[in-house]
Amino acid sequence: MSELKKAVILLSGGLDSSTCAAIALSQGFELYGISFRYGQRHSIELEASKNIAKKMGFIRHEIVDIDLRAFGGSALTADIDVPKNRSEDEMDVEIPITYVPARNTIFLSFSLAYAETIGSKDIFIGVNAVDYSGYPDCRPDYIKSFQNMANLATKAGVEDSSALQIHTPLIDLTKAKIIQTGLALGVDYGLTISCYDPDAQGKSCGCCDSCALRLKGFKDAGSADPIEYVKK
Amino acid sequence: MSELKKAVILLSGGLDSSTCAAIALSQGFELYGISFRYGQRHSIELEASKNIAKKMGFIRHEIVDIDLRAFGGSALTADIDVPKNRSEDEMDVEIPITYVPARNTIFLSFSLAYAETIGSKDIFIGVNAVDYSGYPDCRPDYIKSFQNMANLATKAGVEDSSALQIHTPLIDLTKAKIIQTGLALGVDYGLTISCYDPDAQGKSCGCCDSCALRLKGFKDAGSADPIEYVKK
């Protein structure tokens, strides 16, 4: 009997990372989730990540506490208003205000530690270069350079310099294509949350950049978004 | 009047990082320290890092909480005995038991976030490839690849792909040479701590690998180590 390969999945509770997990599962990996409590203003996405991990049969799911607030500087962690009701042109700024300094680098570094600990050589991250072109750490060149570095950083890499792979199955997909892929793999998007600014009951606002992208994605995919919105 | 350049200094409370800070200071940088509370079994090294930052006139010193214990796997964070009284041959194993998975990668990632937040493009880390040849993440190739990645990860790197530099002034120095350099720059080594297993009063054990390297370094440098030992 061949042993299943272990994959570390960065799980945010959002649509992309859930789809990413479904893809890893369809490729025959056992799923080991990692999520981060990083001073988000709401913890609803961590609840979502737990529900997703449970529903999708993750072997383990680690929630790691890290404090990015010490460094300030982003609408997702500091007391700055999340932009609302922006046009696509307005969203297409060079670096969005919701950018967190070095966030993906920190997340991937912890994922690397986790992978090394459990003996996994495969990390899945749902970054996307289409809708998040403004984030430097969502670009393919960045991911490739992280992988190079990771292979030099670890025991696994000392033994085999191409041992560790960072998988980015969504990197070139539109939001509509991501949703179609996930639906075909049976992802329950009703468990996911994308909103930057949900209300106290966890309902998505429907007008932040992330809600706008999600709603447009479902529309373009010809499907209905199963989650509830305050307004859409 | 020209503005001083800001440097982020990874400060462990040990001999190497303190020397590294003194070198950055001698090169005209303003010092911004970053230290980590990462499930060490003793907090004496954080106290040492605070004292060093104060003595050396750091502008700021951030202590970041991170929990590596979730990932297990090292004598420095888990309940495994620290090896004692080993010969140099015994120490020269491929990967020491005191290796923490991806530790330097995690530390450098936070330093990168800090650097980006304060507008610094210079990170100093006291890694050493001579005495720590067993740690994959102390090798020059690793540091270079982290720098490449960091320049692709950040706003600074988007504007100038060689903007950010990881400085490793100790990488090729013997412990004796590090000590001589630090003494010439006025480092107060009495404030530093290197021991993997100090006693309750903070006295160094004198027989773990780190104490052994330190004591040999002072001996080879022809100088007396100002700290107290239980036994040496």
Residue-range domain boundaries for chain A: 5-193
Of B101, B108, B142, the CB nearest to A116: B101
- Distance in angstroms (rounded) separating the CA atoms of residues A114 and B195: 26
- Distance in angstroms (rounded) separating the CA atoms of residues A80 and A94: 18
Minimum distance, in Å, between the CA of residue B44 and any CA atom of chain A: 22
- pLDDT-based confidence at B145, cuts 50/70/90? very high
CB contacts of A168 in chain B (<8 Å) are: none
pLDDT score of B179 more than 90: yes
CB contacts of B166 in chain A (<8 Å) are: none
pLDDT at B98: 52
Of A73, A105, A157, the CB nearest to B112: A105
Average pLDDT, chain B: 85
B5-193 CATH? 3.40.50.620
The verdict on a CB contact (< 8 Å) between A116 and B152 is: no
CB contacts of A102 in chain B (<8 Å) are: 109-110, 112-113, 116, 150, 153-154
Of A65, A114, A157, the CB nearest to B136: A157
Of B113, B145, B155, the CB nearest to A136: B155
Q: Which residues pair with A146 in a beta bridge?
A: none
Residue of A nearest to B104 (CA): A153
Long-range pairs, A69-76, Cβ under 8 A, ≥24: A69/A39, A70/B62, A70/B64, A70/B114, A71/A101, A71/B113, A71/B114, A71/B116, A71/B117, A72/B117, A73/A100, A73/A101, A73/B116, A73/B117, A74/A98, A74/A99, A74/A100, A74/A101, A75/A196, A76/A40, A76/A41, A76/A100, A76/A196
Question: Comparing B45 with B160, which gets the higher pLDDT?
Answer: B45
- Cβ(B190)–Cβ(B226) under 8 Å? yes
Mean pLDDT, to the nearest integer, of B119-130?
A: 92
pLDDT at A175: 95
Of A113, A137, A152, the CB nearest to B68: A113
The verdict on a CB contact (< 8 Å) between A155 and B73 is: no
Minimum distance, in Å, between the CA of residue A75 and any CA atom of chain B: 13
Minimum distance, in Å, between the CA of residue A48 and any CA atom of chain B: 21
Instruction: Count CB atoms within 10 A of the CB of residue A92.
Output: 12
First to last CA, chain A: 50
| pLDDT tens-place string over residues B29-86 | 999 999 988 766 568 889 999 999 999 999 999 998 877 666 765 444 445 465 667 6
| pLDDT tens-place string over residues B190-227 | 999 999 888 888 899 999 888 999 999 999 999 999 99
CB contacts of A152 in chain B (<8 Å) are: 136-137, 139, 141-142, 145
The type of residue at B117 is T
pLDDT at B177: 97
Instruction: Count CB atoms within 10 A of the CB of residue A184.
Output: 10
pLDDT at A161: 66
In what helix (H) or strand (E) does residue B219 lie, and over which residues does it extend?
Answer: helix B209-220
- Distance in angstroms (rounded) separating the CA atoms of residues B164 and B154: 9
Digits of tens for pLDDT over chain A (232 positions)? 457 899 999 999 999 999 999 999 999 999 999 998 876 656 888 999 999 999 999 999 999 887 766 676 544 444 546 566 666 655 554 445 455 678 899 999 999 999 988 889 999 999 998 876 677 888 899 999 999 999 998 766 667 766 899 999 999 999 999 999 999 999 999 999 999 888 888 899 999 888 999 999 999 999 999 999 998 6
SS3 per-residue string spanning B30-73: EEEEEEEECCCCCCHHHHHHHHHHHHCCCCEEEEEEECCHHHCC
Mean pLDDT, to the nearest integer, of B102-108?
A: 91
- Cβ(B142)–Cβ(B150) under 8 Å? no
The verdict on a CB contact (< 8 Å) between A155 and B136 is: yes
In what helix (H) or strand (E) does residue A167 lie, and over which residues does it extend?
Answer: strand A165-167
The verdict on a CB contact (< 8 Å) between A153 and B142 is: yes
pLDDT at A204: 94
